[in-house]
Amino acid sequence: MDEKKVKLLEKKANEIRITLIEALIEAGSGHTAGPLGMADIFTYLYFHELRHDPKNPDWPERDRLVLSNGHICPVLYATMCYAGYADVEEYKKTLRKFGTKFQGHPHREYFPALETSSGPIGSGLSQAVGMALAERIDSGKSYKKWIYALLSDGEMDCGNTWEGAMLAGKEKLGNLIAIIDRNNIQIDGFTEDVMPLEPLADKWKAWNWHVQEIDGHSFPEIHEAVQRAKAVFDQPSVIIARTVPGKGVPFMERHFQWHGIPPGVSDVPDAPPKAEQGAMALKVLREVC
C-alpha cells in the first residue's frame, strides 16, 4: 500500500468520523467510543479490500462482513453510505429514528444491504462460521469469497464466541477472518477490571487460529495483516486490532464512559460541558481535514 493510498484512506476515515458524530448529535442517543475507534478498519475494508457492489448488494460473489457488536453500527452505516449503499444526509438526519433503515442496532428488515441483524453480543462469530462453512461446501477449498467477522473485546466474555471459535478452528476455516476491536473498554468499565481477557492471543491460538496483533489505526499494518491472513489456508485467522476508543477526539479517547452515549447528553470526566461536547468534537475532527 503506497503513501498516496494511505493518505486517501486516512482522509476518508476522518470524514466518516465527522459524519457519525453529526448523526449521533442529531439522534441524541447511541454509541460513540467504539465507532470512532473502528473507523479506520471499516474504511480499509469498504474502500480497499472488500469485494462488494453497492449497486448490487446481493451480488453472489461478494465478500461477507458480519458485524457482531452491532452497537457500533454508526460507523458501519456512515461507511456504507460513503461507499454508495445509502444517502449520507438521510443517515445523518434519521439515525435511530422510528422506521429508519439506520436502526440503533443493524436490522436487515430495514436495511437489506446488511449481511445480518445484530445486537445480542456474542452471536456474530457463530453466524460468520456458518457462512464460511457454507462457502466451503459450495466451492470446495477454492474459496471465491471471504467472510469477515468484526467483534468487540467485551463480547469475549460471551461463551457463544468461544463455541464459534472452537468450531472454526476444528473445521480449519481458512476463508474466515475475524477482527477484534481491542479497545480495552466496555459499558461498565475497562475490560481487564470487568472480566480480564489476557492472554487474549494465546486463547485464540489454543483453538487453532492464526493470530496477529496490530495497531488498528495504521493502514499499512491493517493491510499487511489482512493479506497475511488470506495466505493461510488451513486455519481461520484472527486479527487483534489495538484501537483507541473515541479516536480523533482527545476528550473522548480512552474514557469508557463514552462507550454508550453521544455528545451532549451527559457530563463525562475530562470532557467539556455537555452543551459544548458536540461542537468541540466536530471542531477537532474538522481541523484534521
pLDDT tens digits for range 66-79: 999 999 999 999 99
Question: What residue numbers bound the domain in which 59 lies?
Answer: 3-288
pTM, 2 dp: 0.97
Q: Which pLDDT belongs to residue 88? A: 98
Q: For strand 176-182 and strand 237-242, is the pairing parallel, antiparallel, or unpaired? A: parallel
In angstroms, rounded to a whole number, what is the distance separating the alpha carbons of residues 50 and 12?
A: 16
**177: buried, middle or exposed (CB in 10 Å: 19+, 13-18, 0-12)?**
buried
At residue 141, the pLDDT reads 64
Q: Is 246 exposed, middle or buried (0-12, 13-18, 19+ CB in 10 A)?
A: buried
Mean pLDDT of 31-47: 98
The string of pLDDT tens digits covering residues 171-199 is 999 999 999 999 999 999 999 999 999 99
| Structural contact between residues 71 and 123, judged by C-beta atoms closer than 8 angstroms | no
Mean pLDDT of the region 31-54: 98
Q: Is the pLDDT of residue 140 over 80?
A: no
Cell, residue 210: 492464526
Q: Helices (DSSP H) in the chain: which residue ranges?
A: 3-27, 33-37, 39-44, 73-83, 88-94, 124-139, 159-171, 191-194, 200-206, 219-230, 274-288
| pLDDT band per the 50, 70, 90 thresholds, residue 121 | confident
Cell of 156: 469475549
Confidence of residue 131 (pLDDT cuts 50, 70, 90): very high
Counting the structural domains of the chain, the total is 1
> What whole-number distance in Å separates Cα of residue 182 and Cα of residue 200?
10
- Residue 120 belongs to domain with CATH number: 3.40.50.970
The C-alpha cell 488451513 sits at 234
| Alpha carbon distance 266, 216 (integer Å) | 28
H or E stretch including 210? strand 210-215
